[in-house]
């Protein structure tokens, strides 16, 4: 896997099962288009932030839940070809006409994998993050991500991925740049940590925070604008 199509959406809590059916019906189509994995994760531990947060990123309403999801592709070329097929396939147009959420507030973009550790598999729980990194700090962020991936893996995570913004469009209502108040010269990073279970995640975080190596590397970005949260996968194919 070397390229990711990443999404964040707000879905009415009452539409959870309808949303799960919707994405389950879409999964075979994305496989036909070349995707190797599709993950849809339902908000479980999504905190409010002082400057930014996932709810604000998609202008979530009180009765809505944030969904963190992604498609994995073997290359950017396969992903770009898939986008063209998605735009013209009548099956996708039909599904798009009956979405159980407000697609106009969904944020999406294409990301090139910058750092990946672990084989993963079917995730039991996911920690998701979105942040803005100065473009000049790309290599410093790669080293930072690899350092922390090693810690998470040592304390129970099955896979850690950080992906660098490549095709991140401006939106009319919401977008990734607005989600983290990105400044000129900054790139968006979309990342996640896969855990075998929520329990493993909770125990792992306690160990990570107590590990002195966690505080060795200085973050090459403004952590105050990073958005993060915990999500339960409802589809992983």
The pTM of the full predicted model, rounded to 2 decimals, is 0.96
pLDDT value at residue 96: 76
Distance CA 186, CA 142 (A): 15
Number of domains in the chain: 1
Q: What is the dihedral of CA 29, 174, 3, 28, to 10 degrees?
A: -10
pLDDT at residue 137 tops 70: yes
Structure tokens that stand for 14 in this block: 């009452």
Q: What is the pLDDT of residues 138-155, one digit of tens each?
A: 999 999 999 999 999 999
User: Contact 69/153 with Cβ under 8 angstroms?
Assistant: no
User: Contact 44/232 with Cβ under 8 angstroms?
Assistant: yes
pLDDT value at residue 122: 87
pLDDT at residue 117 tops 90: yes
pLDDT at residue 97 tops 90: no
Q: CATH number of the domain that 68 lies in?
A: 3.30.70.100
The average pLDDT across 217-233 equals: 96
Residue 178: Cβ within 10 Å count: 16
| 95 pLDDT tier (thresholds 50, 70, 90) | confident
- Comparing C-alpha atoms, which of 39, 9, 7, 42 is closest to residue 231? 42
Distance CA 228, CA 50 (A): 12
| 103 pLDDT tier (thresholds 50, 70, 90) | very high
**Residue 210 belongs to what domain range?**
3-236
- The length of the chain in residues reads 237
Distance CA 203, CA 214 (A): 15
pLDDT value at residue 1: 63
**Alpha carbon separation from 217 to 92, 151, 208, 221, 227 (Å, rounded):** 44, 12, 13, 12, 20
């Amino acid at each position: 896997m070397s390229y990711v199509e990443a999404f964040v959406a707000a879905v009415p809590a009452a539409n959870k099962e309808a949303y799960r059916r919707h994405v389950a019906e879409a999964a075979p189509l994305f496989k036909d288009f070349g995707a190797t994995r599709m993950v849809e994760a339902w908000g479980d531990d999504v905190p409010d932030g002082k400057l930014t947060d996932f709810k604000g990123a998609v202008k979530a309403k009180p009765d809505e839940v944030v969904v963190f999801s992604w498609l994995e592709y073997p290359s950017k070329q396969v992903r770009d070809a898939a986008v063209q097929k998605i735009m013209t396939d009548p099956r996708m147009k039909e599904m798009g006409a009956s979405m159980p959420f407000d697609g106009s507030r969904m944020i999406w973009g294409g990301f090139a994998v910058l750092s990946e550790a672990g084989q993963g598999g079917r995730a039991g729980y996911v920690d998701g993050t979105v942040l803005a990194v100065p473009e000049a700090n790309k290599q410093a962020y790669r080293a930072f991500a690899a350092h922390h991936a090693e810690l998470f893996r040592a304390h129970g995570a099955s896979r850690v991925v950080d992906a660098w913004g490549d095709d991140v469009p401006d939106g009319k209502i919401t977008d990734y740049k607005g989600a983290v108040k990105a400044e000129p010269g900054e790139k968006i990073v979309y990342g996640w940590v896969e855990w075998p279970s929520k329990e493993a995640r909770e125990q792992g975080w306690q160990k990570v925070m107590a590990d002195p190596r966690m505080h060795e590397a200085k973050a090459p970005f403004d952590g105050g604008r990073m958005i993060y949260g915990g999500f339960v996968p409802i589809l992983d194919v």
